[in-house]
Amino acid sequence: MEAKYLARVNGPPLFYRKWRSASQPRTSVPRRAVFIGHSQPTHSGMLSDLAEGFRAAGWDAHSGDIRGHGKSTDAQVPLGHLDTGDGWSLAVDDMRHLLERSFDGVDWADRLVVVPNITALMTLEVMKTWHDLARHIVLISPVPNQRTLALFGKAFSKVRMRLRAADQPDEQILHHLYAFLGAHLRDREHPADVISTDRDLIREIVSDPEGWPIPSPAYWSNIFSGMLSAWKWPNNARLKPGTRVLVMFGGEDAMLRDGGFLPPIERFLAEVGVEDVASERIEGVRSGLFLEEKRFGISKRILDWVGQDGAATADARYSEVDVAQLASDVIARLGGGAAPADMRPDELVELCYNAIDDETRWTEVIYRIIYEAGQDGEMTEAELAERIERLMPHWERAFSLNRQVMMNATLGVLLQAVIDKLQIGIAILDADGALLHANTTYRETLLRIFPKTSPGADGDAFSAAATRRLFVSGASAEDTGKVNNDRIVLHDNAPVGFHFHPQALRQTGLQRQGPASILILRATERDDDDNTRRVLTELAYGLTGKEAEIALLIAEGMSLDEIAGELGILVSTARGHLKKAFQKMSVHSQAELTARIMSGPVGWLK
């Protein structure tokens, strides 16, 4: 894979990647090229599997990060932000620049575009003036041409921009958007579950420092403005005859809603000159199917379509659903009963505060407002914004209370179960490394690590500053690249602690100033007793006490027969506990389990 930055005069340099096909010599004129786009919570670095699939089939694969994503950032356009005024048009210019670079010298018939979600919208914008962009275009889980949804999202983000800084991360929009998208899922544990059913993949996306950002209100305002713009073309804009389009989506797709939003997309494509429209639904995947190359062979599916001789026809199985009916169905599923044409303002306020204990009530509020707008049919953005603005002070207060309740509950569990019971130094940090809580042993150990630094009268200030120094200290070479950046902590080139991200903090770690990680410091030479190791294993991997106990004994080299005898249980019982430990730790063998434990906080203590 080749990578470089492409200079831009109106924004940050764009990070560009190319996977050159082995069957196309460097000196030859490019024969076939595919450009692969990314979605909002991802970047081009996550597309290697899909790119390799095309490369192996003889295609040069190209990709890049749109500004505000991945590595295409700077001081003016940080991760998760687009300019308040013209951010969408500038991002579309980025898209065109990357496409021009990718298809330079490639014949129209040999160009393939594979674009998901927001880059699908940007590609539609580019094609308004670049009518012969590519012979084959694949839209993966495209953001649908549903005006009501776009108007609501734009109005909501603009209200948020008036409430807080337009360029600062806003967790509330991110939380509500993904809860809205995932309302139809029955097994949702994390907002990002709308992307995939693969928990390991979700963990990789969320833990990637360049993925899953918390975008600014200005970012979302631009995206929803783009949703309105991309599906509205000039009357004379027509694609080159022979252009083919495939719409791919998952069986549990949050964007196309079980294919219900597909028919109006197909009608639009026909109106702009696409004579050959095909669709493919893939069971077992969601909106991030472009990340599922290893499980579902996405590149082969696409190339099979590219290789078809005759024109394909759109699948007629999908019944069109309007936004009002969708909203009514979701409200009923959430337990809100039938959706009335209008709810009184005080009823919506009550729903907002009910969400302090039941977050689905916020999703119900969103769908009820969308239902009303869908029924109206002519509701303007200003009218939507007025409804949202009246509700927002209560919504904001309820959301803050909910976050505080969640953090207090998490801290309470950790304090009771872990921190105050262990003799090692242990502290809870937020995502930026700020100290939230620490036991006495931790604070005492800091004084030994920094003996020349006087805490003065304010011991809390000293602990916070010392913790920050440890948080930003370098990791040893063998610890780089780990999921969540779990690592040994160094001071003066000597290991003094271990920093890790336990399963129990995955949700609160997404909140601003929420508990996100644990830092442990060795207090004495004998702080690795059995109880300490067991509790840390429970915390680090989300295991029960018995699962942790058996996992540690496996790591010490005992067989299941020996463990069963040691604990006085049946071998089948021990095997059942071990199987659950495998699942929670994402390992497949005893050797992998041992390696995972020894590379984590327990291994550090030993």
For residue 457, name the pLDDT band (cuts at 50, 70, 90).
very low
- The percent of residues above 90 in pLDDT, for the chain, comes to 47
Torsion 18-24-29-30 (CA) sign:
negative
pLDDT of residue 478: 41
> Are 260 and 339 contained in the same domain?
no
> Are 485 and 596 contained in the same domain?
yes
The 10 Å CB-count burial string (b at 16+, else e) for 509-538 is: bbbeebbbbbbbbbbeeebbeeebbbbbbb
Among 407, 436, 469, give the residue marking a domain's end.
Answer: 407
> Are 398 and 424 contained in the same domain?
no
pLDDT of residue 339: 56
Cα–Cα dist 233/229, whole Å? 8
Overall domain count for the chain: 3
55 contacts 23 by C-beta, under 8 angstroms: no
Give the pLDDT mean for 322-344.
Answer: 77
Residues linked to residue 137 through DSSP beta bridges, in sequence order: 113, 245
Is 459 within the bounds of a domain?
yes
Is 322 within the bounds of a domain?
no
Cα–Cα dist 207/517, whole Å? 12
Give the pLDDT mean for 487-509.
Answer: 79
> Are 265 and 341 contained in the same domain?
no
Query: Which token pair is 72?
Result: 């295409």
Is 511 within the bounds of a domain?
yes
> Are 207 and 356 contained in the same domain?
no
Cα–Cα separations (whole angstroms), residue 459 to 96, 196, 296, 443, 520: 55, 45, 55, 9, 19
For residue 310, name the pLDDT band (cuts at 50, 70, 90).
low
pLDDT of residue 24: 63
The rounded mean pLDDT for the chain is: 86
Whether 270 shows a pLDDT value over 80: the answer reads yes
Residue 273: give the domain boundaries. 2-306
40 contacts 82 by C-beta, under 8 angstroms: no
Query: Which token pair is 344?
Result: 């009184």
pLDDT of residue 421: 60
Lowest mean pLDDT among 150-159, 332-341, 576-585: 332-341
Lowest mean pLDDT among 75-79, 108-112, 473-477: 473-477
Lowest mean pLDDT among 128-137, 232-241, 336-345: 336-345
Is 311 within the bounds of a domain?
no
pLDDT of residue 475: 46
Is 197 within the bounds of a domain?
yes
Is 329 within the bounds of a domain?
no
Cα–Cα separations (whole angstroms), residue 101 to 14, 104, 136: 11, 6, 17
- The percent of residues above 70 in pLDDT, for the chain, comes to 88
460 contacts 442 by C-beta, under 8 angstroms: no
Is 153 within the bounds of a domain?
yes
Whether 417 shows a pLDDT value over 70: the answer reads no
pTM greater than 0.85: no
Give the pLDDT mean for 67-78.
Answer: 94
Cα–Cα dist 482/10, whole Å? 35
pLDDT of residue 189: 76
> Are 298 and 365 contained in the same domain?
no
> Are 216 and 347 contained in the same domain?
no
pLDDT of residue 120: 97
Q: Which of 519, 171, 230 is nearest to 163 (CA)?
A: 171
Q: Quick count: other Cβ atoms within 10 Å of Cβ 283?
A: 8
For residue 461, name the pLDDT band (cuts at 50, 70, 90).
confident
Cα–Cα dist 435/442, whole Å? 11
- Secondary structure of 300-350 in the HEC alphabet? HHHHHHHCCCCCCCCCCCCCCCCHHHHHHHHHHHCCCCCCCCCCCHHHHHH
- Residue range 104-157, pLDDT digits in tens: 999 999 999 999 999 999 999 999 999 999 999 999 999 999 999 999 999 999
For residue 178, report the phi and psi dihedrals to the nearest 5 degrees: -75, -30
For residue 476, name the pLDDT band (cuts at 50, 70, 90).
very low
pLDDT of residue 81: 96
Q: Which of 139, 144, 225, 228 is nearest to 181 (CA)?
A: 144
CATH number at residue 31: 3.40.50.1820
> Are 138 and 202 contained in the same domain?
yes
- Residue range 159-202, pLDDT digits in tens: 999 888 899 999 899 999 998 998 888 777 788 899 998 988 88
Whether 448 shows a pLDDT value over 50: the answer reads yes
Query: Which token pair is 573?
Result: 């019982």
> Are 151 and 245 contained in the same domain?
yes
Is 187 within the bounds of a domain?
yes
Query: Dmax over Cα atoms in the chain, in whole Å?
Result: 80
Whether 479 shows a pLDDT value over 60: the answer reads no
Lowest mean pLDDT among 67-76, 88-97, 252-261: 252-261
> Are 150 and 280 contained in the same domain?
yes
Whether 260 shows a pLDDT value over 60: the answer reads yes
> Are 301 and 192 contained in the same domain?
yes
Among 407, 439, 471, give the residue marking a domain's end.
Answer: 407
pLDDT: which is higher, 238 or 375: 238
Among 407, 430, 446, give the residue marking a domain's end.
Answer: 407
Q: Quick count: other Cβ atoms within 10 Å of Cβ 499?
A: 24
> Are 471 and 514 contained in the same domain?
yes
CATH number at residue 544: 1.10.10.10
Cα–Cα dist 2/55, whole Å? 13
